Homo-oligomer: A and B are copies of this chain.
């Protein structure tokens, strides 16, 4: 669909976006140096424009139906390092310098608290860790280590 709200976004760029039913793109936010995936937010054309031109990540709040600048109230700003559009034009990858916690819970990332039980198979098709599939998934698994055996995950806890 087209942009839902008026925007100062470059029309040439706007013409290349493929927005969802609500006029939004998914924005994957990554710490620029460690590679941590911090969170996923949503941007309409104007939020993307503000992110590209202000140096601070700006999102469209689906619940509050308003723009929000990350860190405006929490102090946990996201300073933009780069923004890349994906091959389909429906997602952006925003690399940032994250101050403090990215997650509203106080966790560093929104993916720190709830590791799901998953079977891990290597490239030969051999099961590396099949026990994970039998673990309960009834709630957040804070502190549960990676199910990958045979080596530390360098992204874990980064």
Oligomer: number of copies: 2
The contact of A12 among B33, B88, B138, B155, by CB within 8 Å, is: B138
19 A–B contacts, CB within 8 A, in A order: A12-B136, A13-B137, A20-B20, A21-B21, A32-B148, A33-B153, A37-B93, A40-B86, A52-B116, A52-B117, A79-B123, A81-B147, A81-B148, A82-B120, A84-B111, A87-B103, A87-B113, A97-B123, A99-B123
Q: CB-CB < 8 A to A104: which residues of B? A: 87
Complex Cα–Cα for A38 and B37 (A): 11
Which positions 121-158 of chain A face chain B at CB distance < 8 Å? 121-123, 125, 127, 133, 136-139, 146-148, 153-155, 158
